[in-house]
Amino acid sequence: MRIPAVLAAFLLLSACSSMNDTERRTATGGLVGAAGGAAIGAMAGNAGMGAAIGVGAGLLGGYVYDQHKKSQERSYQDGYSAGRSAQ
């Protein structure tokens, strides 16, 4: 029973190879959110509703994480450029 789930997850994630970083981080957040939401929803009695809420939360979380990583990269590049110009 576990092998089909693992195979499905692998196939979904392998489709991300042509995506840019923002798309990949947001989609991964959505997948993780859906899985977590479905698990919590199943315990609460409504897996579909839990998955729907989880997807929304996961997409938002993935997008926020992507913006954070972009901010880190910009800060690094700014510092690197400042150090190179000071020489």
Q: Where in the chain are the domains? A: 23-80
Phi and psi angles of residue 20, each rounded to the nearest 5 degrees, phi first: -80, 175
Flag whether pLDDT at 11 surpasses 80. Answer: no
| Predicted local confidence at residue 78, as pLDDT | 92
**Which stretches of the chain are DSSP H helices?**
2-14, 21-44, 47-85
Over range 60-79, report the average pLDDT: 90
Question: By C-alpha distance, which of 19, 31, 16 is closest to 62?
Answer: 31
Q: For residue 78, what are its two tokens?
A: 């700014």
Local structure of residue 5 (DSSP, 8 states): H
Question: What's residue 1's pLDDT?
Answer: 46
pLDDT for 75 equals 95
Q: Convert the pLDDT of each residue in 12-66 to its tens digit.
A: 666 666 778 888 888 778 777 877 888 888 887 887 888 888 888 888 888 888 8
